[in-house]
Structure 1
Amino acid sequence: MNIFPHDNILPTRYLAACFNNTVATYKFYWLLAILDAVHRQEREIKKDQLFASMLSNAWYTVNYFQVSFGQQDLIQSTVRQLKDIEGITIDEDRAIIQNRLVKSEKTETKKLLLHFDNQVPHWFLSPWYPRKGKREVYQLSQAGENQPLYQLYKDCIVIPERWFDYLTKHVRIIRDYVYWNLSLFLQKRNPNVPDIPNKLIKPALRSSLLKQRKFWDVVIDANGPLRCIYTGKELFKGAYHVEHFIPYSFVSHNQIWNLIPSDNAFNVSKGNKLPPLDKYFDSFYDMQKVAIQTYMTSRPSEKLLEDYFYIGTDLQAGLSKEKFYDVINPLVTIASNNGFEFLSK
Structure 2
Amino acid sequence: MNIFPSDQELPTQHLAACFNSTSATYKFYWLLAITDAIQSGQKEIKKEQLFASMLSNAWYTVNYFQVSFGQQDMIQHTVRQLKDIEGLNIDEDRSRIKMRLENSDNPKTRKLLFHFDNQVPHWFLSPWYTGINSRGKIYELSQDEVNQPIYRLYKDRIIISDKWFVYLTKHIRIIRDYVYWNLSLFLQVRNPNVPDIPNKLIKPASRNSLIKQRKFWDYVIDVNGPLSCIYTGKELYKGQYHVEHFVPYSFVSHDQIWNLIPADGSFNVSKSNKLPTLEHYFEPFYAMQDTAIRTYMRDKPNERLLEDYFYIGTDLSTGLSRDKFYDVINPLVTIASNNGFEFLYK
Counterpart of 2:308 in structure 1 is: 307
Could you tell me which amino acid in structure 1 is paired with residue 341 of structure 2? F
State the alpha-carbon separation in 2 of the partners of residues 53 and 197 from structure 1.
19
Aligned to 1:126: 126
Partner of 2:213: 212
Within 1, Cα distance between the matches of 2:131 and 2:229? Answer: 63
* Residue 162, structure 1, aligned to residue 163, structure 2: yes
What amino acid maps onto 1:244 in structure 2? Answer: H
Q: 1:63 maps to what in 2?
A: 63
What is the rounded CA distance, in whole Å, between the counterparts of 1:103 and 1:33 in structure 2?
16
Counterpart CA distance in 2 for 1:255 and 1:232 is: 24
Other structure's SS at 2:330 match: helix
Percent identical pairs in the alignment equals 75
The 5 A counterparts of 1:285-300 are 285-300=286-301
CA distance in 2, matches of 1:174, 1:105: 33
CA distance in structure 2 between the aligned counterparts of 1:229 and 1:255, rounded to whole angstroms: 19
How far has the Cα of 1:131 moved from its partner? 1.9
Deviation at 1:343, TM superposition (A): 0.5
The correspondence of residues 184-223 of structure 1 with structure 2, limited to 5 A, is: 184-223=185-224
Counterpart-to-counterpart distance in 2, 1:333 and 1:159: 46
1:249 aligns to what?
A: 250
> Superposition RMSD on alpha carbons, in Å?
0.4
Q: Equivalent residue for 1:175?
A: 176
In 2: Cα distance, 1:233 partner to 1:122 partner: 59
Mapped partners of 2:106, 2:158: distance in 1: 24
What are the equivalent positions in structure 2 for 1:256-335 lying under 5 Å apart? Answer: 256-335=257-336
Does residue 136 of structure 2 align to residue 146 of structure 1?
no
Q: Give the AA of the match of 1:294.
A: T
SS in 1 for 2:261: strand
| Structure 1 residue ranges, 4+ long, deviating more than 6 angstroms after superposition | none
Return the letter of the residue paired with 1:24: A
Structure 2: how far apart are the matches of 1:332 and 1:172? 36
2:338 aligns with 337
State the distance in 2 between where 1:130 and 1:337 align. Answer: 40
Shift of the alpha carbon at 1:130?
1.3
Structure 1 stretch displaced more, 290-299 or 130-139: 130-139
Q: TM-score, normalised by structure 1?
A: 1.00
1:224 maps to: 225
Could you say which residue in structure 1 is the equivalent of 2:31?
31
Paired with 1:95 and 1:166, the residues of 2 have a C-alpha distance of: 26
TM-score scaled to structure 2, two decimals?
A: 0.99
Partners of 1:10 and 1:296 lie apart in 2 by: 63
Take 1:82 and 1:238, find their aligned partners in 2: how far apart are those partners? 40
Gaps of 5+ in 2: none
Alignment deviations for residues 298-322 of structure 1 (CA, whole Å, 9 cap, x no partner): 0000000000000000000110000
Give the whole-Å Cα distance in 2 for the aligned partners of 1:88 and 1:186: 24
Return the alpha-carbon distance in structure 1 between the equivalents of residues 116 and 141 of structure 2: 20
